[in-house]
Structure 1
Amino acid sequence: MFNRKSILSLVLLLTCIMAAKAQVKIGFEVSFKEPQAHYAEVQMNISGLVKDYVDVKMPVWTPGSYLVREFEKSVEEFKATASGKAVRVEKVRKNTWRIFSAKAANIQINYRVYAFEISVRTPFIDESHAFLSPTGIFMHPDGMIKSPSTVKIIPFKTWSKVSTGLTPVAGENFTYKATDFDILYDSPIEVGNQDVFEFMASGVRHEVAMYGGGNYDKEKLKVDMAKIVEQETAVYGENPNKYYLFIVHNFARGGGGLEHLNSTTLGATRTAYNTEAGYKGFLGLVAHEYHHLWNVKRLRPVALGPFDYDNENYTTNLWVAEGFTSYYENKYMHRAGFNDANTFVNDLAGGIAVVLNTPGSKYQSASESSYDAWIIGYRPNENSKNNSISYYNKGEVIGILMDLEIINATKGAKSLDDVMKAMYLQCKTLKRGYTDAEFKAMVEKISGISFTNFWAKYVNGVDDAEYVKYFGYAGVDVSTENATPGKPVTGASGQLSNSGLVVTSVTRNSAAWIDGLNVNDEIVSLDDVSINDALSTLRLRSPMLSLDILPVVAKKNIGEVLKVKIKRDGIDKELSLTLKENPSVRLKATINENATAAQKAVFQKWAGK
């Protein structure tokens, strides 16, 4: 039992500890001596942390991209001084450096980072710009994730701009502050001569930083991106930011995006803005990543924050986080006026067809796909399509079905929008993420019906989507046809090489699968026609191709035998493939003009227009 003196002593001790933590200051300075060689120079200053040694750690992954990427592999020339004197440094884990500071009050750490991987989730530096993806650049003292820090950027001599979602430090050029390392690690930084423009939407100032040039129309983008922002904010009833940044990297061929708390990084094709498909593709990417402002960054699975930056962070709910966001991308494009109702329903039907046509959808559930993101999702192999399904694709299908089920059950009064808003507010109130059970409970509360069977079939099970039934709720007819009626298929694809055609993919239960054609087999001839002769009549735009486009295959009938001569590990072999019908299907959605009043009410709520 504590007496009064013990309690006072404990209070004094806690006060001293809090004061000591408050006195610790962490600052970074990033410069670029050799950008053409793809290096950043990082100086980290720590003061007030008086210990025998200090461990500093670099994250091994970046939130939103569920793969351990080992960013520490790019760190060079790590060294440290304590109170101005060089001190011993020892690497004690793959991502942890121990500095023997001997209770010095001031520590300076210097290291270089090699950055030459183009993606939205990895740092990249060359003579034209620097993209600093923070988890691959910065480090934190062990156990001090919640500590504030400052970052000063010193642009290369030919660069003049810095774009980031971090808060500027008043009166200090290119200097920013983060309230903790979660914020720092979630705030990418673009340095260079990017083209910057702004627009207002939903009361929020939005900045767009364009790198790499392109045939974009800034004035048109301002209007159209604002439409997307306003549609998304309307679902959740509030926009949690005062400022939001789009960093856009324009390349010869680009794509992909990564969400952050008040920013996103997008990849785009610089010459595609003036085509309908290219422009809508970019707006769809904007819609997807902006939706993560709520779904993932704030409305999130409980496992995704606070983060463990040293290890994998497992969750079974990425089908909500990413899959629902893919679904909402289509909804926002329709609601904002970029796609008509016919395009809307057919894009969604196409998404269902993708899952139906992926053999792995029969073997891996959406929840399993989410959990296995760390080992399969970001590093698929030649057999992944046969034993796994993307939580993006399967989650999109679940979103479609769930939305229609809720709308139908409530006779058009409620939709998935209501669930997403309620879960966002719940996470905001509880200051934590949701569990799978909590998400299911909210769906049932909003809809007024049980979703236990739905969860068993579509979330934790591998049942095919009952798309005719669900689209029928909204008066949309869906027809199904074979993707290539009457045409035989081998089920194998290959890649052109100097020696001919090498098999790269074999589809489960296809002729190639059943009759023993393997990945890495080198095809010598088909029905005694040399592979070079078989390819000679084709005008190929890509080194990747399906064997089924070759004339010697296409002229055959379903059930006929294709004789295939191969080399396998240098040994000649001959196989006989009994050609099968293509199991893939195409779906076509048609809005029924004679739909009932109830169906029209469901469609109206579903489409949101």
Structure 2
Amino acid sequence: MMLMICGLPFLAAKSQVKISYVVSFKEPQTHYAEIEMNVSGLSKPYVDVKMPVWTPGSYLIREFAKNVEDVSATAGNTSLKVEKVKKNTWRIYSNKSNSLKINYSVYSFEVSVRTPFVDASHAFIFPTGVFMYPDNQLSASSTVKIIPFKGWEKVSTGLEPVAGQPFTYMAKNFDILFDSPIEVGNQEIFEFMAAGVKHTVAMYGGGKYDPERLKVDMPKIVEEATALYGENPNQHYTFIVHNLSKGSGGLEHLNSTVLGVARDSYATDAGYKSFLGLVAHEYHHLWNVKRLRPVALGPFDYENENYTTNLWIAEGFTSYYENKFMLRAGYRSPDEFAGSLINKVANIINTPGSKVESAAASSFDAWIKYYRPNENSNNSTVSYYNKGEVIGLLLDLEIINATKSVKSLDDVMKAMYLQCKAKGRGYTDAEFKAMAEQISGISLNDFWEKYVNGVYPIEYAKYFGYAGIKVQNENEGKNLPYLGIATRASDGHVSIIAVSRDSGAWKDGLNVNDEVISIDGADAEPNVNGMGVLAGKKVGDVITVKIKRDFLDKEIKVTLRANPNVSLVPSIPEGVTEGQRNVLKKWMSLK
């Protein structure tokens, strides 16, 4: 009997799904990008196409679909029915057509490193805010062809170019496509080699930068980051820099980053070093987050929150190493390095929310808290960036001290990077802790309970003491009077913008948005806390604060309480031991 093997359905060759995009800008001054999406190989009664609701690296549901307009679809010359079935999903009734063309427009006018922007001068294509994807096809490859507007001549992106096709790029899957922003326009481009990798810098918006100086200084950051991990995972890397009047921030990608910078900041020493610090932070994400990552952060669910309790590592440790790379590259002195971290410790202690929310909880709740602060956030939350940076500092010193200056947090980071690479997945909190214990040779149960999962007061004297640095609280024992409000002056009015938990203002009923008229009869000054009328008071005194609330005059009696904030000052005492000097040298990479 002859078996018709080739006809069996389970052995039949599957039709390959092909996806391509064409991006154009008919009237860029209106802030729209026009998208043509071609899909073939999906012979189904209907095809659902979806827009991501968030973008990796920025943990907030941003609802990118809100900017999508004019969705239409055709198969050949036949118009197809399009129905929106969810907030981010359009159903194309394809009638089993093998090839579909979908057209839509995306309004793009939000200035940030995480949203698309189009105007007459350039286009910033932020992929999760621009490209839809067919349902259940995130593993499919795609190509993107950019048609620059008339007069635009350059495209910058980390995507791989398609040979012989100008301004056309390919992505092996949607995780890569969504992780590859695209700059279109007339940006200034310069290149440098570092760690064996070609780096391209695309500068939009002008600015007082010196490309020749940057080609010397940026590679030093790259080399220091690469030295930590022993290898650079890219063949090429792209910096997209938006130089704006008030630019700030950055967002990491698989082999690129987008940086927002104030265009005049390069002209000052502080501003220039701030830019290098931003480069150090985002470049470190090449490893920490993109490859050395919490297990929840990839493969991604682009329609829902992706929860992790480890953003204090992903972002906080990246902030910590931003300081270390700047120190190692020679852009920060040892005193500046230590002083900056001591200030970070003080800031955490002086944040009332640090006594309420743990680093792990802050990470988990990033979706509803970090990007949506309100007037009470300082009292109820702690930044996983700031707390994580302090945890990185403490853990680094703990490991160095425990191993007699043989090992450090560097060894944990490299080992975890290699472990994630070998396992092909991210780490769990337990795995990271286990590696830190393995390298330090000690139990870190108490450390994790206090600083990661708890809100234990930071033992700064103990940890800095490992390195022979004495850190004291200048406010200790002074019993300073404290009102507990922050204010903003505008058009001659002084309004309360924050009230600190458990302060006199908190206990006695001053509110955010109250306009302060006077204190004990003295007209309110822009800096209420610095008014002379307060300087002459002591803890327990009662002051009369005249306010206007909802256009009604009120007088509130406030009993001044003791200032809970610390003012930390370091010194190097006599009698520092050889062991402490070795910890200091290891911590600061001193010779």
TM value normalised by structure 1:
0.93
1:431 to 424, 433, 436: 424
Question: Aligned to 1:110, what secondary structure does the other structure show?
Answer: strand
Deviation of 1:47 after TM superposition, in Å, equals 1.4
Name the counterpart of 1:219: 212
Structure 2: how far apart are the matches of 1:233 and 1:13? 50
Q: Give the RMSD, CA atoms, in angstroms.
A: 1.9
- Asked if the contact 1:319/1:366 (under 8 Å) is kept, the reply is yes
How far off its partner does 1:551 sit? 4.4
Counterpart check, 1:324 vs 2:305: no
CA distance in 2, matches of 1:596, 1:163: 53
For 2:373 and 2:11, the matched residues in 1 are separated by 51
Residue 285 of structure 2 corresponds to: 292
Aligned to 2:22: 29
Contact 1:487–1:554 (8 Å) recurs in 2? no
CA contact (8 A) 1:208 1:246 kept: yes
Q: Structure 1, residues 18-49: CA drift from partner, whole Å, max 9, x if none?
A: x32xx221000111112111111111011121
SS at match of 1:305: coil
Alignment partner, residue 372 of structure 1? 365
Identical aligned residues as a percent:
64
Structure 2 vs 1, CA of residues 593 and 126 (structure 1 numbering), >3 Å: closer, same or farther? farther
Change (3 A) 1:217 1:556: same
- Per the alignment, residue 540 of structure 1 pairs with none
Q: Secondary structure at the residue paired with 1:482?
A: coil
SS of 2:267's partner is coil
User: Which residue, out of 321, 324, 338, partners 1:345?
Assistant: 338
Q: Aligned-pair distance for 1:593? A: 6.6
| Alignment partner of 1:162 is 2:159 | no
Q: Which moved more, 1:564-573 or 1:103-112?
A: 564-573
Q: In the superposition, relative to structure 1, how do residues 257 and 40 fare at CA in structure 2: closer, same or farther (>3 Å)?
A: same
Task: Say if 2:528 is the partner of 1:547.
Answer: yes
Pair 1:445–1:92, CA change in 2 (3 A): same
Equivalent position of 2:444 in the other structure: 451
1:587 equivalent in structure 2: 568
Partner of 1:574: 555
Q: What's the counterpart of residue 506 of structure 1? A: 499
**Partner in structure 2 of residue 193 of structure 1:** 186
Equivalent-residue separation in structure 2 for 1:314 and 1:179 (angstroms): 26
Change (3 A) 1:49 1:575: same
Instruction: Call closer, same or farther: CA 1:582–1:16 in 2, change over 3 Å.
Output: farther
Secondary structure of 1:501's counterpart equals strand
Matched, 1:66 2:62: no
The 3-state SS of whatever aligns with 1:585 is: coil
The aligned amino acid for 1:173 is: P
Is 1:522 aligned to residue 515 of structure 2? yes
Instruction: Give the counterpart letter for 2:589 in structure 1.
Output: G
The SS at the match of 1:247 is: strand
Task: Map 1:19-98 to 2 at 5 A.
Answer: 19-20=14-15, 23-98=16-91
Secondary structure of the residue aligned to 1:382 is coil
Maintained 8 Å contact 1:31/1:41: yes
Task: Tell me: CA distance 1:487–1:51, structure 2 relative to 1, closer, same or farther (3 Å).
Answer: same
C-alpha spacing 1:562/1:263, structure 2 compared with 1 (3 Å) = same
Alignment of 1:93-112 (within 5 A): 93-112=86-105
The amino acid that maps onto 2:273 is K
**What is the aligned partner in structure 1 of residue 542 from structure 2?**
561
| 2-structure distance, mates of 1:483, 1:255 | 36
- Whether 1:116 and 2:112 are equivalent positions in the alignment is no
| Cα distance, 1:292 vs structure 2 | 0.4
Residue type matched to 1:120 in 2?
A: V
Q: Which one of the candidate residues 433, 453, 474 is aligned to 1:481? A: 474
SS in 2 for 1:49: coil
Q: 1:406 is matched with which residue?
A: 399
Aligned counterparts of 1:220 and 1:44: Cα–Cα separation in 2: 42
- Find the residue that maps to 1:191 and give its secondary structure: strand
SS at 1:273's partner residue? helix
Is the contact made by 1:80 and 1:89 (CA closer than 8 Å) also made in structure 2?
Answer: yes
How far is the alpha carbon of 1:108 from its aligned partner? 0.7
Deviation at 1:546, TM superposition (A): 4.8
Assess if the C-alpha contact under 8 Å between 1:195 and 1:209 holds in 2. Answer: yes
Indicate whether 1:16 and 2:9 are aligned: no
Report what 1:541 is aligned to. none
Q: CA deviation at 1:14?
A: 4.8
Provide, for residues 325-367 of structure 1, a one-character-per-residue CA deviation record: whole Å limited to 9, x for no partner.
1111111110111111111111111111110010000011000
| Number of residue equivalences | 588
Question: Given the alignment of the two structures, is residue 491 of structure 1 paired with residue 484 of structure 2, yes or no?
Answer: yes
Please tell me the residue identity of whatever aligns with 1:215. K
Note if 1:416 corresponds to 2:412. no
CA distance in 1, matches of 2:374, 2:513: 13
Structure 2 counterpart SS, 1:261: coil
Aligned counterpart, 1:229:
222
User: Where in structure 2 are the equivalents of 1:234-249 lying within 5 Å?
Assistant: 234-249=227-242
Q: Residues 429 and 129 (structure 1 numbering): CA distance in 2 closer, same or farther, change over 3 Å?
A: same
**Contact 1:483 1:582 survives alignment (8 Å):** no
**1:153 — aligned with what?**
146
Could you tell me whether the CA contact under 8 Å between 1:210 and 1:247 is conserved in 2?
Answer: yes
Secondary structure of 2:192's match? strand
Name the SS for the 1:345 alignment partner: helix
Q: Say if 2:460 is the partner of 1:467.
A: yes
Letter in 1 for 2:584: F
Mapped partners of 1:437, 1:283: distance in 2: 33
Q: Kindly tell me: are residues 105 and 396 of structure 1, through their superposed partners in 2, closer, same or farther at Cα, counting changes over 3 Å?
A: same
**Quick check: 1:255 aligned with 2:248?**
yes
After TM superposition, give the deviation of residue 524 of structure 1 in Å: 3.2
Change (3 A) 1:567 1:16: farther
What SS does structure 2 have at the residue aligned with 1:360? helix
Distance 1:430 1:168 in 2: 30
Q: Which amino acid aligns with 1:568?
A: R
Equivalent of 1:178, from 171, 181, 198?
A: 171
CA shift in 2, pair 1:590/1:223, >3 Å:
farther
Query: Once the 2 structures are TM-superposed, how far is the Cα of residue 487 of structure 1 from its aligned partner?
Result: 5.8
Please list every run of 5 or more consecutive structure 2 residues that lacks an aligned counterpart in the other structure: none
Deviation per residue, 1:450-498 (Å, 9 max, x gap): 0011111110010111111111111122122139977643211233455
Q: In the alignment, which residue of structure 1 is the partner of 2:305? A: 312
Offset of residue 596 of structure 1:
1.7
- Give the Cα separation in 1 of the matches to 2:255 and 2:404: 36
- After alignment, is 593-602 or 40-49 more displaced? 593-602
| Counterpart Cα distance in 2 of 1:14 and 1:242 | 39
For the residues of structure 2 that align with 1:265 and 1:488, how far apart are their CA atoms? Answer: 45
Paired with 1:226 and 1:156, the residues of 2 have a C-alpha distance of 33
Offset from partner CA, 1:351-407 (integer Å, 9 cap, x none)? 111100100000110000000000101111100110110000111111111111111
Distance in structure 2 (CA, Å) of the matches to 1:590 and 1:228: 29
Distance 1:92 1:461, change over 3 A: same
Residue 105 of structure 1: how far off its partner (Å):
1.5
Q: Which of 307, 326, 329 does residue 333 from structure 1 map onto?
A: 326
The Cα shift of 1:580 comes to 3.1
Distance of aligned partners of 1:510 and 1:209 in 2 relative to their CA distance in 1, 3 Å threshold: same
Gap runs ≥5 in structure 1: 536-544
CA positional deviation for 1:502: 2.8
Q: Distance in 2 between matches of 1:550 and 1:119?
A: 38
TM-score (norm 2): 0.96
Distance 1:484 1:306 in 2: 52
CA distance in 2, matches of 1:304, 1:283: 27
In structure 2, distance between residues paired with 1:42 and 1:66? 26
Per-residue deviation, residues 227-279 of structure 1 (Å, max 9, x unmatched): 01101101100000010111111111221010000000011111111211101
Alignment partner, residue 386 of structure 2: 393
| Paired amino acid for 2:12 | C
Partner of 1:273: 266
Partner of 1:542: none
